Amino acid sequence: MRIATFVHEGQRRVGQVSGDGQSVTAFALDAAQAARGALPLIEAAAQGAALPALTGPAIALASVRLEAPLPLPRRNLWCVGRNYHEHAKELQASVFKDNNANPATWPIVFTKVPECVVATGDNVVLPGAAVSEQIDYEAELAVVIGVGGKNIARADAMSHVYGYTIVNDVTARDVQMRHQQWDMGKSFDTFCPMGPWIVTADELDGQHTRVRCWVNDSLRQDGRTEDLIFDIPTLIETISRGITLYPGDVIATGTPAGVGLGLKPPVFLRAGDVVRIEIDGIGSLQNAFV
């Protein structure tokens, strides 16, 4: 199932996208529930509740404005750095060359603030040269937690997955390097495009899919999640060690090789650039940088 958050006739709603991707039918949620996007559905499912009823006729997707499926996540998004083998290699040859830590020892985990989430079709705002001149894209499969838990065993981890979406982990590289801790360079306003919807885990195996990214129609990234250094069960096990995960938590699993920083010479985003990310089994996330 594909679950979308959208605005129709000035009202935010949450609905089920049709199999052909041409329409969406709203669930019976009140305004306060719909304001939280898909989160009430995820929380209800974690309690064993059925989906709310579908209401009214199907609405053409062309007549709605898609929002991020979780317009304001319940807390910071969990993110993983250097989690594809080739991406780790390309950054070892960049400004990260002096970091001798073996990326295969432990996952590099950081967070992005929930307020930086925007939808497909929204603009990503470049912060200006006085703040950063090294804005980069990172196409990522994101896991949405369904059943929460703490100290989740790797063997049980996939039963805690509700579904998947796409995230662009936009990054100010110079700020990332300046502060060493990555959260600030990852959390600028609009720096987390998410969408176009959530695909539930019964329809997609996130461990076997393809992640691609284009900048202005030039293919930059093309990787498969089989190439993750730390797979999805390992990430869930690691992040839940001593920390309770909750329904609706988001884990961005890392980006394949081909980021702007890894090019020779590096190429960063400029006003007017358009970044499109596609993940097989989910769809497309596209944003202009302004």
Residues 162 and 263 in one domain: yes
Check residue 95 and give its pLDDT.
52
Residues 109 and 225 in one domain: yes
Check residue 102 and give its pLDDT.
59
Residues 169 and 47 in one domain: no
pTM of the model: 0.95
| CA atoms of 72 and 147, how far apart (whole Å) | 19
What band does 180 get if pLDDT is binned at 50, 70 and 90?
Answer: confident
Print the domain residue range for 22: 2-67
Boundary residue ending a domain (67, 95, 117): 67
Q: Could you tell me the two tokens for 119?
A: 């939808």
Check residue 182 and give its pLDDT.
84
Residues 129 and 185 in one domain: yes
Say if residue 282's pLDDT is above 50: yes
Task: Please name the residues in contact with 107: beta carbons below 8 A apart, sequence gap of 6 or more.
Answer: 80, 81, 83, 229, 230, 234, 235, 238, 239
Check residue 179 and give its pLDDT.
78
| CA atoms of 17 and 284, how far apart (whole Å) | 14
Residue 200, in any domain of the structure = yes
Residues 284 and 238 in one domain: yes
Residues 13 and 56 in one domain: yes
Lowest mean pLDDT among 13-17, 180-184, 222-226, 259-263: 180-184
Residues 29 and 156 in one domain: no
Check residue 56 and give its pLDDT.
86
Say if residue 155's pLDDT is above 70: yes
Residues 94 and 10 in one domain: no
Residue 72, in any domain of the structure = no
Residues 37 and 148 in one domain: no
Half-sphere exposure of 270 (CA within 13 A, CB side): 3
Top pLDDT among 96 and 117 is at 117
Check residue 42 and give its pLDDT.
98
Lowest mean pLDDT among 102-106, 224-228, 263-267: 102-106
Task: Please name the residues in contact with 244: beta carbons below 8 A apart, sequence gap of 6 or more.
Answer: 148, 149, 150
Residues 205 and 99 in one domain: yes
pLDDT tens per residue, range 61-98: 999 999 999 999 999 999 999 999 877 677 765 555 54
Say if residue 100's pLDDT is above 50: no
Boundary residue ending a domain (67, 87, 108): 67
Here the CATH number for the domain that contains residue 250 is 3.90.850.10
**DSSP helix/strand/coil, 136:** strand
Residue 100, in any domain of the structure = yes
Residues 129 and 166 in one domain: yes
Lowest mean pLDDT among 26-30, 136-140, 145-149, 183-187: 183-187
Residues 61 and 99 in one domain: no
Say if residue 131's pLDDT is above 50: yes
Percentage of residues of the chain with pLDDT beyond 70: 95
Give the count of domains, the chain.
Answer: 2
Boundary residue ending a domain (67, 94, 113): 67
